[in-house]
A and B are shown apart, each in its own frame.
Chain A
Amino acid sequence: MVYWLLIPVRARTPFLVLLSAAYLGWKSPAATAAIFLWTTLFVWAAPRAKTASQPRRVTGALILAILGWLALFKYAPVLADALGTTELESLLLLPIGISYYAFKLIHYAVEVGRGRIPEHSLWDALAWTMLFPAFTAGPIERFDHFLLHRREQPSEAQIASGITRIFHGMIKKLLLADGFLLVLAGDSGSFLATLDQHTTLEAWGFLFLMYLWAYLDFSAYSDIAIGASRLFGIELMENFNWPVVAASISDFWKRWHMSLAAWCQSYVYMPSVGLTRNPYVATYATFLVMGMWHGAAFNWLCWGFFHGTGVAVHLTWKRYKRRRKWHKWMDKGAWRFVGIPPTLAFVTAAAAFTTTVEHGGWAGLRLFAKLFFVG
């Protein structure tokens, strides 16, 4: 209410920046300073790509710089740990939101370099990178989308839907995810410790609950981010679209963490196709990047490889169907739903790697193998 009633229109974007900075600064002053400095650098440097003698070098340098920053905090401690040096881990605590704003800034550098971003101010860019509802858990909002989907005047309908969406998210997170599913599934450490006493069916059941928990937990954060942003007249990108009813693994990736999938399609898959002209290489590159974006652990690499294999196999099958004109009947009517159970099974199996991240790669492989009567 303060935002709409007391803050003049021209001051609302700076106010949102200050509000976001205050919230983030309370959580981590160092991380807040970092995102402020990085955004300012990108806003100053990225437009120079349009007039530079070698524009791609400017964009490339910015991308390498932010990736280096991300790698320093995300992967250097893991590497140091692997080499037996644990001090680095305490020195380089992962700044909040780093994975999200790194990818946002890469998008910014590329699209500004292409001339695809409308005129904007530093305040606009800071409001976008620091937007506190979406800072720690996304969506990975595109800057052009952000600029186009802001209101200058309040909308009762938007504010009401924002409040509703926040409540939906809180119910999903507090009641369904943490209050029910997590309690039902139990602790992953305990399950792993007694893995040899569980049946394969119990392993599938455990992972299915963990997959549902992950979906409700993660989508709840997106609901709260989208809902809270609506209170400020900002309509963020959607991030989930009922992935539990996905009819294929390709369909799943059009429904799960959609903002990340779209980012990877634009900035990993397509450049990989451009360099290799090989859709399989591009697919695996995309999913391995996705895996590593989530975390610097062997489990995430396995997860990425598994999903990449699923997508590669599915798209190969889709081509095979099309060449035989089978798609004319297999992709219509009730046949469209045949793929839902195997897709659910596939993503449930992938949860073997994500549920065991804190227990290590071997735990993930053991749990995965248990799904196929091994161990």
Chain B
Amino acid sequence: MGLNAGAVIAWLLENAGVDEDEVTADTLLFSTSLVDSFDMVDLVAWIEAEAGVQFGPLDINLDNLDSVERIVAFVASRSS
């Protein structure tokens, strides 16, 4: 199962208090504190449930989570 950018953005708007005009596919999320660190846990849980992928302990890092496009890329790499 994959995950598209639209679904991730929709989750951020609904659950992370982000405004529509604040986020695009390449907006940095956690390193800019646009999304707070508590939301990282919920986001990871949602990605795992929605996309059917598993984050290993060391997969939770900015490379994989700091933007919508990085999240989509990580899910794609785990799904292939």
Contact = CB atoms under 8 A, between A and B. Distances in A.
Interface of A: 56, 114, 116, 250, 254, 262, 265-266, 269-271, 273-275, 277-279, 282-283, 315-316, 318-319, 322, 327, 331
A263 B12 CA distance: 24
Contacts of B17: 318, 322, 327, 331
A274 B36 contact: no
A262 B31 contact: yes
A270 B62 contact: yes
A262 B40 CA distance: 15
B60 A270 contact: yes
B31 A318 contact: no
Interface of B: 15, 17, 30-31, 33, 36-38, 40-41, 44-45, 55-63
Nearest to A321: B17
Contact of B62 (A254, A266, A275): A266
Contact of B41 (A116, A273, A316, A322): A273
The B interface is mostly helix, strand or loop, or mixed, namely helix
A271 B41 contact: no
Nearest to B61: A270
B45 A116 contact: no
A116 B37 contact: no
Contact of A319 (B38, B44, B45, B57): B38
16 contacts: A56-B58, A114-B63, A116-B63, A250-B36, A265-B31, A266-B62, A270-B62, A271-B57, A274-B57, A277-B44, A277-B45, A278-B41, A279-B38, A279-B41, A318-B36, A322-B17
A268 to B, nearest CB: 11
Contacts of A266: 61-62
Nearest to B17: A322
A279 B38 CA distance: 6
Contacts of B55: 274
Contacts of B15: 322
B66 to A, nearest CB: 10
The 5 closest A-B pairs by CB, nearest first: A274-B57, A274-B60, A315-B38, A279-B38, A322-B17
Contact of A279 (B33, B37, B61): B37
Nearest to B32: A254
Given A274-B55, A277-B45, 6 more contacts: A271-B57, A273-B60, A274-B56, A274-B58, A282-B37, A322-B15
Given A277-B44, A322-B17, A265 B37 contact: yes
A282 B44 CA distance: 14
A279 B40 contact: yes
A10 to B, nearest CB: 32
